[in-house]
Every structure is written in structure tokens, then in C-alpha cells.
Structure 1
């Protein structure tokens, strides 16, 4: 029995069995409500994904700079030990060490270098060694502080989007409830082996579509990048990675990335990314008038006719 007919039949039976209850929504009303929920969820999920990517990038930058900073601190400690050795050696040879304690106790490498230079207690080789270190070290803490600021800023952004995450969870609950009432909820199978692609794609686009078709039947999961489930842009990113192209994570980022790669919707080729109006959703053109995509909560990665897509389109990108 076709899905739409099955849903309609289920609604009829429900209304017959509960005459005293509140009127059930018609199929069209339920579909309209679900469409609004899906559109809203698309936008919130993409916003959440974008903030998460910014957070990851900022944290990665911070970790790298902080590790470098720690290595430099170890170098400072090593050089300070060498300077103490120089002081001891100078004393042993009868040198003037009156100014050494203050120089050794200084906390900043640049101050130590300055005092040693004034005292003239180092060999040219030692002076050059510390000068090189001073150049390498200069400004490093400032860079680390900038990274820390970036991390704190990303944390604030992430915290702000956590409110949207709460909204996502509410939307998902609404979507699931409505879909179950309609008898259209599909939890999917995280272990699905998909279907074989036999379309007209060639080259790396063929690899993209072979991968995407192999995910058919896996559940839509917001924020999902595989292998057990995907959201729309998570699927397109993973599929094109299989084709040797690195796409950004989110729908908005993929659209911006493809600014110089836009193609007409009248000239689609297999592998092209198709974006819905508002950039809330992205799918992959499979050829023969079909697309493969991860639709929304309560559904699975699937292949459908582009003509049955049901969303207004804004354009396409050819990676």
C-alpha cells in the first residue's frame, strides 16, 4: 500500500474509533505542520552545527599554540640552567658576579637577556644563542592569550547555541509525535548496507553516489556525520569525501564554499549539490531526475524523485 494511502487509511480508522475525541488533523494539515517543523529544525540544526565547527576550530588553534608555549617555557628553563652554570663558572674563575643573582632571578627571558648584555658576562656565542631564543619567544604569550580569548569566545557562542539545541530537542519530540500519529515514523537502521548505485555518474561523482547509496536506510540524526546516521550536510560532506573532495561541514558553509562553482538547476549533473531555499537543506543529484539525501528526523537516507522533493530550490553547486 502506498505510504500516503496508508497514512490516510490510518487516520480514517482512528477517527472512527474515537468519535468523542477532538477532531484529528487531516492528512494535509498534518503534512503542512510537519513541513513547518522540518524547515524550522533545518535552520536550527545548521546554526548549531556551524557554531560547533567554529568551536572545534578555535579549540584546535588554542591547543596548538598552548603546546608551543609550554615547549618554549621548557626552553626558558633550560637556558636559565645554562646561565646559572655560567655564573658558577664565572665565580670559579674569579669573575665579578655581583649582578648575577638579580639576573638569574628575573622571570622574563627578555629581561634576562638585557641584563646579561649590559653586564657583559656572556661569550658572543652565548649572547647569540639567547638572542635567537628571545626572537622566537617574543610575542608568543600574546599569541597564546589571543588563542585563549578565541576559545572563550567560541565557548560563549557554543553556550548560546545550547539554547537552540534545547529547541532542537523539542522540535524532534514534536516531529516524532506527529510522525507516529501519522504512522510515518521510520527509525532507520544504523547498520544498513544501502543499495547499489547504477546511475549515469562517472569519475569522482560515481564514487560520491556509490557512497551515498550505500547509506540508504540509515537514520537521519541531527549533527550526524556517519557512519550510523547523518543529517543532510553530514551526508553530502561524507559522500564527497569519498569522491576526494573536502567540503565544509554545514549547509551554509557548503553553499558559500561553492560560490564559484554554482550551476543552473536546468543543467544538473550527477554529484551536484542541490540547496533548498533558505539554505536549510542540501541533497545530491543522482541523475535520471533523482536525488539522494537525509531528509529530516523520523526518516532515513533515501532516494527520491527531484520532482517529489517538495521544497523550493535556491541553486546547485558542482564540487
Structure 2
């Protein structure tokens, strides 16, 4: 028995000194692996953020329409109520002084009940009652339009809220990648106040104005949903750049591709200012001429100028 003690002690020491396989730290990802994972996440996020931006535009448009109709409804309703009040005042006054005979017959402490009775008596203020009926018909139609628009607004807000929840999930994943990139020393926070660089390419006309604007954004950080002036996403940058060139574009890259259905050009015939799209059409940039592209690439990066070969374009649109 005494001979077994050293053996047991030795085994215990071996167990204590030998690290468990499950307790070993995972090997640190390489820079290439980190970038590859970030690219995969960004490819997924491009689609989600584009949908989020589209829902945001739908929500803003529906809200604007609803508020305009609701304001009109209130004005029309005020006119109807003024007429209603005038009729009630006249009826009450006539009842109190006992004048105009049949006014008193229709008096009722409930205004709506009384007005309903008055409306059936065509000898009393037929013109006024006719105006009331006209206004009430108009206000009912307006109310129907307002309620319809309110439903559209509510649905758009619901979609926006749902997509915002999804965006938070993607942001969480991307934030993890940003931490990894920071640890590897490759995260670029950018400069929200960057003055950019001067465009010296061959563009002219509206395209020149668009590219001059885009180049002034170089160095500013990429941010999902960013529409300037201190950060941008891809379609936000393109939309604002061409707005500076006098052309209105939709907000998202998918919408921009659809908008340009009749304006598509071959990649062999590119001109400065053309919109360039990635596979899936979830990313867009601007061709700058001389084989260069300016775009807002992805989280952890900044608005930058890259070569056409680096960009991997699959389609182009000329505004």
C-alpha cells in the first residue's frame, strides 16, 4: 500500500500540470480569416441595411402624406363645426324667444339629434342645411382618405421597427468584428471632419459635380444607414453625390439599380459618374474614370478610392 502513494501523487501531479483539451484557448484568427469573416457579415448586412433604408424612406413618405391629409382634415372639420354651431345657435335662440314657429318644435338638448331633425325640415334654412350636408359629405371622404393613409403609415412604421430589430442583430455581429480588427490593428475609424481630396479626373458637366462631392467625402467613416455629412453608407454617398450634380436618385442600391433599368451601360463603355454595382446589387459606388472607383465600402473602413479591378463590378447605370 505504501508503494502506491508516490504513484497516485505522481498521477495527480500529471493531471494538475496537464491542461485539459477543452480549456485550451482557441487559436487567434489570422488577419485574412478576420477580414474574410467581416466580408461575409458585410455581404449579409448590405441586403438587410438596404431593406432598412427602403423601409425608412417608405415610412417618411407615408408619414408626410398622413400629416398633410390630417391637417387638411382638421381644417375642413373646423369649417363643418362652425356651420354646425351656427345652426345650433340659431335653433336655440329661436326656441328661447319662441320665434319662427316650427324652430322650437325641433329643439333638442343634443345638437346632433336636433340637427338631424332640422335636416328633414326643408323649409328652414334650406341653403344652410344644404351646405352642411355638402361639407359633411366632403369631410367623410377626407376622413376615409386620412384613415387609409394612417393605416399605410402604421404599416410602414411596423416594417421599419422590425427591420431596426434585425439591424441591431447585424450590428452586434459587426461590432464583434470591429473589436477583432482593432486587436489586429486594422480597424480604421475614419475622420468625420475629413476634407477629402480634390477630384482631378476627366469628368465634366453634372458628373463632374457628383465626383467632386464624392471625393470631398474621402476619409469619412462608413456607417450603416449613413447619409452624411459625417459618415456614409454606399447608396447614401451615391445619392448625395448625384444630388450635388442635379440628379435625384432613390435611397437604396437596389432602388438605384431598378431606377436605372433604361440607363444601364456596358462595363466596357464606362464613363466618369456611372453607378457601379457589386454582385447582388447590395453595394454601389461611382466610377471616377482612369480605372478608379470611389465608394463607401464597409464597416471598419472609410470612403475611399480603389481600382476598378479591386471593386469587382457586375453592372453599371448612367444617370
Q: TM-score range by the shorter chain?
A: 0.7 to 0.9
In structure 1, runs of 5+ residues without a counterpart are: 1-19
The structural deviation recorded for 1:231 is 0.5
Please state whether the residue corresponding to 2:76 is helix, strand or coil: helix
Matched, 1:105 2:86: no
Larger deviation, residues 36-45 vs 193-202: 36-45
The number of equivalent residue pairs is 294
1:253-309 CA-to-partner distances (Å, cap 9, x unmatched) read 111111121111111111111111112110011111111111111111111111112
- Structure 1 residues 112-191: aligned runs within 5 Å: 112=115, 115-191=117-193
Corresponding residue for 2:10? none
The structural deviation recorded for 1:98 is 3.9
The structural deviation recorded for 1:80 is 1.1
Q: Identify the match of residue 234 of structure 1 among 221, 233, 236.
A: 236
Please state whether the residue corresponding to 1:172 is helix, strand or coil: helix
Normalised by the length of structure 2, the TM-score is 0.84
Matched, 1:211 2:213: yes
Alpha carbons of structure 1 residues 104 and 21: separation in structure 2 relative to 1, 3 Å: closer
Aligned residues of 2:239 and 2:251 also touching (Cα < 8 A): yes
Alpha carbons of structure 1 residues 103 and 65: separation in structure 2 relative to 1, 3 Å: farther
Corresponding residue for 1:6? none
Aligned residues of 2:92 and 2:107 also touching (Cα < 8 A): no
Corresponding residue for 1:41? 45
The structural deviation recorded for 1:117 is 4.2
In structure 2, runs of 5+ residues without a counterpart are: 1-23
Please state whether the residue corresponding to 1:138 is helix, strand or coil: helix
1:133-163 CA-to-partner distances (Å, cap 9, x unmatched) read 2342232222222122222212321222132
Corresponding residue for 2:83? 79
The structural deviation recorded for 1:191 is 0.8
Please state whether the residue corresponding to 2:28 is helix, strand or coil: coil
The structural deviation recorded for 1:125 is 3.9
Corresponding residue for 2:316? 316
The structural deviation recorded for 1:69 is 1.8
CA distance in 2, matches of 1:131, 1:89: 22
Corresponding residue for 1:287? 289
Aligned residues of 1:103 and 1:116 also touching (Cα < 8 A): no
